[in-house]
A and B are shown apart, each in its own frame.
Chain A
Amino acid sequence: MIKQIILAFLGSVFPVILFNIDRKKIIWAGFCGAFGWATYLVVYKYNHSPIMSSFAGAFIVGVYSEFMARRLKTPTIQFSIPGIFPLVPGITAYNTISYLVEKNYSAAFSKGMQTIAVGGAIAFGIMLSSTTYRFISKIIKPNKERMFIP
């Protein structure tokens, strides 16, 4: 488990270099991926559903990136994009293609549906946290003009 979390940390650090992130923020992007994957593992332990676990992981990634974006005054996507990288259902997507090629259509359909469901869960998790965060911050300080676009 520790090994997986370290790999998730590194797996969020290296892709952001391709997206040309600010050098000082690379490490925070790495923590975002590590937290998201740790949440995934914990939820997966109690509830053996990849969809639910991905949703929880993405939700934590969203909350973390909204928080850090306000602390460091940068756009949210700097943390949310690397954060969801470990959650991307790469292996089920590959299995879908490989079943399709073997003409095993029922298995391909079930894997494909799982891929789409996990992808949707990730998107929904991030969106839910960002809209909730925005809503709460509007209620708490309605008059203060926002100085930056999160």
Chain B
Amino acid sequence: MNAKQVLEIALSAGQMLISNGAEAYRVEETIERICNSYNLECECLVTAKGVFISIVDGDDGKVTSLKKIRTRRVDLYRIELINSFSRNIQNKHISYEEARKKLKDIEGAPYFTFPVRLLAASMTSFIYALFFNGTIYDALVSGVISMGIYYVLEKISRVGFFQFFEFFFSGFIIGSVSLIAENLLPFVNKGNVITGAIMILLPGVALTNGIKDIIYDDFMSGMVKFGEAMLVITAIGAGIGTALSLRIGVGL
């Protein structure tokens, strides 16, 4: 492999890591590892929105390239696969075509199917409504609400909507549906329903990775992730608060 091909492999590995929600230090270490295994010196800078790599090529100075990340989601399985890919590349040198093919395989790795994820989302809310001392009725209502929310979010995220509004409306729907449920079924407690249903929306990965990045001195990507998580939490809270205060205003 020549320097440009190594650069391309490292760049696409880094891009896949960031867009699947890895921490900044993991991306930097993976890129450095790929470059070092081909005896090339490299510098890289990882932010939450893109990755810059510059490799010292023997003949004509430095080769620099950058890649911008457009979509971000959380996918722990792909992070693990790329981790073992970088370990393999370190153990034995593979050719450019082979590396390309492996990265392509990782990109096509299986997801859980949509019905399974829908069921998992609803079971999460069901369990957490029970966990916070709710009754079985609270848990059932909570499960139904979060199934609807997850379905709508999955469909909306393809259209492309501002993140704040996505989470604001999810919070608003959770708040208003649980109020309606409490009015229709008097044995349901809206507090337990809401705490169960918001569990699928909480940005746990963004928050922990943001704090982890800050602790490892990657302030640039750490603050972005932390700010994003805070924005999501504020949006959910604002949505639920709007629904609850509407109820006081209308006087149900």
With contacts defined as CB atoms under 8 Å apart, how many contacts are there between chain A and chain B in the complex?
132
The interface bits of chain A over 77-119 (1 if a CB of B lies within 8 angstroms of the residue's CB, else 0) are 1101100111010110111111011100000000000000001
Residues of B within 8 A of A88 (CB): 199, 202, 204
Of A18, A73, A93, A97, which one neighbours B117 at CB under 8 angstroms? A18
Residues of chain A within 8 A (CB-CB) of B10 are none
Q: What is the number of residues of chain B that contact chain A, defined by CB distance less than 8 Å?
A: 53
A98 CB contact (under 8 Å) in B112, B209, B244: B244
Cα A76 to Cα B195 in complex, Å, equals: 27
Does B107 have its Cβ within 8 Å of any Cβ on chain A? no
Q: How many residues of A contact B (CB 8 A)?
A: 45
> By the criterion CB–CB under 8 Å, are B120 and A17 in contact?
yes
Q: Is the CB of B237 within 8 A of A77?
A: no
B contacts with A: majority SS = helix
Q: Is the interface of A mostly helix, strand, loop or mixed?
A: helix
Flag A122-150 by CB within 8 Å of B: 1 or 0 each: 01001100110000000000000001110
Chain A residues in 8 Å Cβ range of B132: 90-91
Instruction: Report whether B244 and A101 are in contact in the complex, using a CB–CB cutoff of 8 Å.
Output: yes
A91 to B195, CA, bound (A): 6
Q: Does B5 contact A (CB under 8 A)?
A: no
Q: List 18 A-B contacts (CB under 8 A).
A: A7-B127, A7-B130, A10-B127, A14-B123, A19-B76, A20-B111, A74-B80, A84-B208, A85-B204, A90-B132, A91-B195, A97-B237, A97-B241, A123-B207, A126-B212, A147-B87, A147-B90, A148-B87
